[in-house]
């Protein structure tokens, strides 16, 4: 008798997911197990697909950012507002009598900043005026001397002519007497008198000629003082007039005015203070002509060119105000190169440090008038390097 054994198929056992009770299990059929494996593979495929899409999207986003932004713009927040202030210093030594302005006040060009005592300057003007008048009178006297010597020369010339006539007459008288003396018609005494008269006439002619030459020399000297110039263009008068103008200029300099428009800063002038020439009294900062010095890394400046457009934001106004400007120039060296004690890298302990180069940025003056800035304020500068092509 044959006994048939019943074959039993082992049941599939699926372990419960992580986090479930380790002693529990789910009994599945073979078909269910295959379905579970298929679902697990689909989930893995979907996960890898999503991960790939995310990686590709990230790469595309970074590529777009680099192409549109990173490769075109360079930005730094190491930027500060600067301006070229006017240093107010006296040009004459005097005492301060008035200071009509104060710190933080805006002044236009030509506004009176400091008034100095005018007493000494007025005395100097009066002295210079008197010296000018004296010089003019002296020069007029020189011109009068020329006319006087001219008249003297004419008189001396007439005297020479008269003396020459006397010599001719005395010579003729002497010749007649010499003839008469040969015949004994006149005495020896008359002949001697004629000879003496002739010699005296010659001496008088010589004296007249000497006086004439002396008058000519005197006029030549006087001519040298006035020739080629009038009273107003004479060197003595010009020198005296220059001294008067200097004195008047010093008087005008007792009123110190603003050379430019701006904000009064560092006002140290006090009434009654005796100030010396060149002593700093205050500064005027032209806030409407301010500019920005942006310190960019040397690795960011390869594509920066003069004239590139720049957008700037100030910490004072925040993102609400955006300034526009242009690159005006690059500094001639880094800050370390012009430091009081420059870095020396001749030793073996050398570490390369990326340097920063100041870039000067001019701001639109109209925007500065709408939203004024102050020297030293922080800025964020972004340069569009693709604007020049």
What span, in angstroms and rounded, lies between the C-alpha atoms of 281 and 13? 97
Do 306 and 291 contact (CB within 8 A), yes or no?
Answer: no
**Residue 364 falls within a domain, yes or no?**
yes
> Residue range 160-183: average pLDDT?
78
Residues in the chain: 389
| Domain match, 225 and 124 both | yes
Say what the alpha-carbon torsion angle 108, 109, 115, 116 is, to the nearest 10 degrees. 160
**Residue 341 falls within a domain, yes or no?**
yes
What span, in angstroms and rounded, lies between the C-alpha atoms of 340 and 348? 23
pLDDT per residue over 91-133, tens digit each? 999 999 999 999 999 999 999 999 999 999 999 999 999 999 9
Decide if pLDDT at 241 tops 90. yes
Judge residue 193's burial from the number of C-beta atoms within 10 Å of its C-beta, 0-12 exposed, 13-18 middle, 19 or more buried: middle
Among candidates 170, 159, 175, which has minimal Cα distance to 201?
170
Judge residue 128's burial from the number of C-beta atoms within 10 Å of its C-beta, 0-12 exposed, 13-18 middle, 19 or more buried: buried
- The better pLDDT of the pair 147, 265 is held by 265
| Domain match, 230 and 379 both | no
- The better pLDDT of the pair 347, 147 is held by 147
**Residue 143 falls within a domain, yes or no?**
yes
**Residue 8 falls within a domain, yes or no?**
no
| Domain match, 211 and 307 both | no
| Domain match, 196 and 304 both | no
pLDDT exceeding 70 applies to what percent of the chain? 83
> Residue range 136-152: average pLDDT?
75
Q: What are phi and psi of 242, to 5 degrees?
A: -65, -40
**Residue 63 falls within a domain, yes or no?**
no
| Domain match, 305 and 315 both | yes
Predicted confidence at residue 236, as pLDDT, reads 85
Q: Which range of residues forms the domain containing residue 323?
A: 72-84+287-384
Listed in sequence order, the DSSP H helices in 227-331 are 235-252
List the structure tokens of 350: 């050398």
Q: Residue 226 belongs to a domain with what CATH number?
A: 1.10.287
| Domain match, 364 and 318 both | yes
**Residue 233 falls within a domain, yes or no?**
yes
Last residue of a domain, one of 247, 275, 310: 247
| Domain match, 315 and 325 both | yes
| Domain match, 110 and 135 both | no
| Domain match, 190 and 230 both | yes
Mean per-residue pLDDT of the chain: 82
| Domain match, 153 and 234 both | yes
Q: What are phi and psi of 174, to 5 degrees?
A: -65, -40
Contact residues for 221 (Cβ-Cβ < 8 A; gap 6+): none
| Domain match, 128 and 201 both | yes
Last residue of a domain, one of 221, 247, 273: 247
- The better pLDDT of the pair 377, 213 is held by 377
**Residue 309 falls within a domain, yes or no?**
yes
With tokens 């500060």, the residue in question is 80
Q: Residue 372 belongs to a domain with what CATH number?
A: 2.40.30.170
pLDDT per residue over 9-67, tens digit each? 444 444 444 444 444 444 557 777 777 777 787 788 877 778 877 877 777 776 665 55
| Domain match, 352 and 311 both | yes
Q: Residue 98 belongs to a domain with what CATH number?
A: 2.40.50.100
Write the DSSP string, 74-135. EEEEEEEEE--PEEE--SS-EEEEE----TT-EE-TT-EEEEE--HHHHHHHHHHHHHHHHH
How many domains are contained in the chain? 3
What span, in angstroms and rounded, lies between the C-alpha atoms of 97 and 86? 22
Last residue of a domain, one of 285, 305, 338: 285
**Residue 255 falls within a domain, yes or no?**
yes
Among candidates 323, 334, 328, which has minimal Cα distance to 381?
323
What span, in angstroms and rounded, lies between the C-alpha atoms of 255 and 115? 5
Contact residues for 226 (Cβ-Cβ < 8 A; gap 6+): 139, 142, 143, 146, 234
When mean pLDDT is compared over 110-114, 146-150, 164-168, the highest value belongs to 110-114
Do 277 and 93 contact (CB within 8 A), yes or no?
Answer: yes
């Amino acid at each position: 008798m044959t006994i048939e054994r019943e074959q039993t198929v082992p049941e599939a056992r699926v372990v419960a997911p992580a986090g479930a009770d380790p002693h529990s299990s789910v009994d599945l059929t073979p078909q269910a197990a295959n379905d579970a494996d298929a679902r697990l593979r689909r989930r893995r495929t979907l996960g890898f697909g999503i991960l790939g899409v995310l990686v590709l999207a990230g790469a595309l986003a970074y590529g777009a950012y680099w192409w549109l932004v990173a490769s075109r713009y360079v930005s730094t927040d190491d930027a500060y507002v600067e301006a070229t202030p006017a240093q107010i210093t006296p040009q004459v030594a005097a005492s301060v009598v008035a200071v009509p302005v104060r710190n933080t006040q805006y002044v236009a060009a030509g506004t009176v900043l400091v008034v100095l005592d005018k007493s000494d300057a007025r005395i100097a003007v009066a002295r210079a005026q008197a010296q000018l008048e004296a010089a003019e009178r002296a020069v007029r006297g020189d011109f009068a001397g020329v006319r006087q010597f001219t008249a003297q020369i004419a008189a001396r010339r007439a005297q020479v002519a008269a003396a020459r006539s006397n010599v001719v007459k005395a010579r003729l008288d002497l010749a007649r007497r010499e003839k008469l003396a040969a015949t004994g018609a006149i005495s020896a005494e008359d002949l001697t008198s004629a000879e003496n008269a002739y010699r005296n006439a010659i001496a008088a002619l010589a004296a007249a000629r000497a006086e004439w030459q002396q008058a000519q020399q005197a006029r030549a000297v006087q001519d040298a003082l006035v020739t080629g110039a009038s009273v107003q263009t004479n060197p003595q008068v010009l020198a005296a007039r220059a001294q008067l103008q200097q004195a008047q200029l010093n008087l005008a300099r007792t009123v110190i005015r603003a050379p430019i428009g701006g904000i009064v800063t560092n006002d140290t002038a006090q009434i009654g203070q005796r100030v010396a020439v060149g002593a700093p009294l205050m500064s005027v900062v032209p806030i409407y002509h301010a500019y920005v010095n942006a310190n960019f890394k040397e690795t960011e400046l390869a594509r920066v060119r003069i004239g590139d457009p720049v957008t700037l934001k100030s910490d004072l106004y925040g993102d609400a105000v955006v300034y526009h400007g242009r690159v005006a120039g690059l500094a001639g060296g880094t800050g370390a190169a012009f430091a009081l004690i420059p870095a020396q890298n001749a030793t073996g302990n050398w570490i390369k440090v990326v340097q920063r180069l100041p870039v000067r940025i001019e701001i639109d003056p109209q925007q500065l008038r709408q939203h004024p800035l102050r020297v030293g304020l922080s800025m964020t500068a972004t340069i569009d390097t693709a604007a020049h092509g």
